[in-house]
Amino acid sequence: MTGFEHLIVPSARFTLLAGGDALQTYRFGTGTAQHHFCGVCGIKSFYVPRSNPDGYSVNLRCLDPATIAAVDYEDFDGRDWERHGHTLAHLSAS
């Protein structure tokens, strides 16, 4: 487990403010997901998920808590990803 808390947002609502020059990217499996991580410290702060190629999954733990009004959590069965991944598609719709 990585401790990554997913906040899925549409691409149009995502802006990387700093640190883009330190990012590294890796892909595996189908190659659809683009996993971005810091080449200096290794943290994965966001990525383009296979379930939402039109958006980003941002690690909620990497955001300043003072900038977040509220968070609604939804349970998700990640163990059985292939069967449940499609249920996330609506989250990145603009």
Question: What are the pLDDT digits (tens) for 37-79?
Answer: 999 999 999 999 988 999 999 999 999 999 989 888 888 877 8
pTM over 0.85: no
CATH of the domain at 65: 2.170.150.70
Query: How many independent structural domains does the chain possess?
Result: 1
49 within a domain of the structure (yes/no): yes
Two structure tokens written together for 38: 């810091």
- Is 1 contained in some domain? no
46 domain residue, yes or no: yes
Give the pLDDT confidence of 71-86 residue by residue, as tens digits. Answer: 888 888 778 877 887 8
Is residue 27 in a domain?
A: yes
Q: The domain containing residue 88 runs over which residues?
A: 6-92
Asked whether residue 43 is assigned to any structural domain, the reply reads yes
